[in-house]
Structure formats: C-alpha cells, structure tokens
Amino acid sequence: MSAILTPVGLLLIVLAGYLFKRFGLFGQKDYRVLQTAEFNIVLPGAIVYSFATNPHDISLLLISVFAFLFAFIPIVFIFLATRKRNVTDRAFLMLNGAGFNLGCFSFPVVQSFWGAGAVVPAAMFDIGNCVMVAAGTNVLTQQLLHIQPGKTLAEQHAGSAPTLPYEKPKDRDAKRPARRALLRTIGKSFFGSVPFDTYLLMIALTVANVKIPNWIASMTQPLSGANALVSMLMVGMLMDLPQSKHDVKEVMAVIAWRIPFSVAFALISWFLLPFSASIRAVMVICALSPIAIFSTLFTDKVLGNAKLAGFSLAITAMISLAMMTVAHALMGV
C-alpha cells in the first residue's frame, strides 16, 4: 500500500497547485518562480545528495547508454511521422512525447517499492535520460524544425508549414559562421543546464573515485527532500485544462506516442538487458515514467504556453502510476 501512496501523494500536490491557482492564491505566472528554483537549485541539490549518500558503481553507466537511447529514439519517430503537420503541433509532440520524469516522480516510487538502494540504478538511468530531457530534446526540436532559440513560435510567425523557413548556406564563407552559431547554440543548451552540469560533475567525481564529503550531503539533504514538492507544485500551478478540441487531440497524441514506447522499453529492459533482476526491475519502472519536468520548461520557451504540457504531465503521471503498480506486481522482485 505504501508503494502506491507515494505517487498518489505527488498527484495530490499537483492538484493542490492547480486549485490554489484557480482560487487566486497563486497568480497565472507565479509558477516561473518555482521553475527557476527547481531547475537551478532544488534538482541539482537532489542530484548531489543522491551521489553523496549512495555508492554509484561506474560499471552501471551502461544503464545510462540504454536510457539515452530510450529518450532519443521516440523523437526521431515523431519527427518522421508528423512531417505533414504544422510546426507548432510537431514541436509540442517532440518536446512532450519522449523523455522520462525520474527525479521528481520515479525516484520516490522505486524507493517506496524497493528501498533507498534502488535509487542508484534509477540515478544511472537518469544520467542518460538527462542528456536528452535537460537539453538534447530541445536542441533536436529546434534544429530539425528550424526554430530560432530565444523566441517563441508566435514571435517567429509560425504558420501551417511543417517547419519554419530556412535557407541552407551555400558558399564556404557563409557556412563557417552558421556552423559556429550552431555549435554555440548546442553548447549553450547543454552547458547552460544546471542539472546537466551537475550530473557531469558527479560522473567526473565518480570516475576519479572522489568521495563527496558528508557536510555536502547534509547541506543538500533539504533540497533533495523538497524536490518532489517543488516540482509537482510547479506543475499544478502551470497546468490548465484543455481549451479546445485541438488541445484534447494534442494530449491524446502525446499519450498515444508515449504508452507504446514506454511499454516496449519496459519489455526490453526486463527481457533483453544484461543486468540483475533487481536492476532490470528499476529500469522497467523508469521506462514507464511520465513526461519529464523539463518538457514544461521547453514548451514554455518554444510555444510560449506550458499549460497544456503541464496537463499532459499530470495525465501521463496518472497513467504511469497505474502501469508501474501493475509492473511491480508482475515482476515480483
């Protein structure tokens, strides 16, 4: 029963954030305060605490490779399958149809299922996942759809075309600055993400066999404890119900993409991957995770409105909870 109560509690926090906004206790844009705190302070602190308090075996980085592939592959399929749709719909599906909400949702679930030690393989899964959700998904979406960073699609006058207008440089003098600009954009997207940078630092310390001092664990413990509350409250604050039939169709499309891939990756994790049963069980739960919290951030930046992404996250969280509970019972680990 406790294994179910933890994620249910997370969903109730989402509901509380939504109701507080509906009754005027929070403003329409107040979620951005929590958004800034979550991605720059709280989540990085939770990552540091995880590495400081749990032994992370460097050999488990193979889990990160599979997690990266699980987060990368759906984006390619979505891009190819939606090539006749408009750029706004494609961007929403690409940003929300792939990646996993681990630190804010799955970590508490696996801990309630199997104890604190289960967070270690989940954290290794999150390293590969973080490469995509913290930056890679956004970079791919922008580059494949020719979206200019720093401006919403409305500001770029997006129409019904499948991509924004783009003219590839033809002469060598024009190609060189374009290449530099692309590398700058990619570098800024990755290294401008504090959680991604934190993971890189933690991996470097793990490879160098450097132990994180206990006093750092003590300092980051409150941040780790606040992670689930802050992230789920933020989702509730930015969430809103679909405003039209088109919005409902977009949410259903996200679900239709996520569930088959999640189930397929869960089956691959359980039946095909070369790990112990306990590690494979954690990977199954991770593969069934809902939409990443980063998706709301990037949807806000690209589309200028993260409300539908927040609603999609809440819906996929409820679906994920049901699938995780069933998977846990079937695996019997």
Q: Residue ranges of the alpha helices (H) in the chain?
A: 2-22, 31-37, 43-53, 61-81, 87-96, 107-114, 119-131, 137-144, 172-191, 194-207, 214-238, 245-271, 277-287, 293-303, 307-331
Tell me, what's the pLDDT at 178?
63
Tokens of 19: 């109701």
CATH architecture of 1-159+193-331: Up-down Bundle (1.20)
Residue linked to tokens 């499948």: 162
Lowest mean pLDDT among 91-95, 184-188, 258-262: 184-188
* 234 within 8 A of 105, measured Cβ to Cβ: no
Question: Region 197-205: what's the mean pLDDT?
Answer: 89
Residue partners of 81: CB distance under 8 A and separation at least 6: none
* 79 within 8 A of 240, measured Cβ to Cβ: no
- Cα 284 to Cα 291: distance, rounded to the nearest angstrom: 15
Residue 276 to residues 121, 147, 271, Cα–Cα distance (Å): 11, 43, 11
Give yes or no for residue 147 having a pLDDT over 70: yes
Is 32 exposed, middle or buried (CB count within 10 Å of its CB: 0-12, 13-18, 19+)?
middle
* 214 within 8 A of 39, measured Cβ to Cβ: no
- Cα 282 to Cα 121: distance, rounded to the nearest angstrom: 7
Question: pTM of the prediction?
Answer: 0.88
pLDDT digits (tens, 9 = 90+) for 241-250: 888 899 999 9
Taking alpha carbons only, the member of 19, 43, 4 closest to residue 223 is 43
Chain centre to alpha carbon of residue 61: 19
Residue linked to tokens 């003219």: 167
Residue spans per domain, the chain: 1-159+193-331
* 153 within 8 A of 303, measured Cβ to Cβ: yes
Question: Region 299-306: what's the mean pLDDT?
Answer: 83
Tokens of 200: 């890189």
pLDDT digits (tens, 9 = 90+) for 82-124: 999 999 999 999 999 999 998 778 887 887 788 777 888 998 9
Give yes or no for residue 175 having a pLDDT over 70: no
Question: Region 68-87: what's the mean pLDDT?
Answer: 95
Tell me, what's the pLDDT at 327?
94
Tokens of 1: 């029963």
Please report which confidence band the pLDDT of residue 2 belongs to, taking 50, 70 and 90 as the band edges.
Answer: low
Higher pLDDT, 172 or 208: 208
Tell me, what's the pLDDT at 173?
59
Residue linked to tokens 């112990």: 276
Higher pLDDT, 7 or 261: 261
Q: For the packed helices 307-331 and 87-96, what is the interaxial angle rounded to 10 degrees?
A: 40
Residue count of the chain: 333
Tokens of 99: 């990646």
Give yes or no for residue 154 having a pLDDT over 60: yes
* 69 within 8 A of 227, measured Cβ to Cβ: no
- Cα 180 to Cα 306: distance, rounded to the nearest angstrom: 30
Does residue 332 sit in helix, strand or coil? coil
Taking alpha carbons only, the member of 99, 96, 120, 98 closest to residue 110 is 120
Tell me, what's the pLDDT at 172?
64
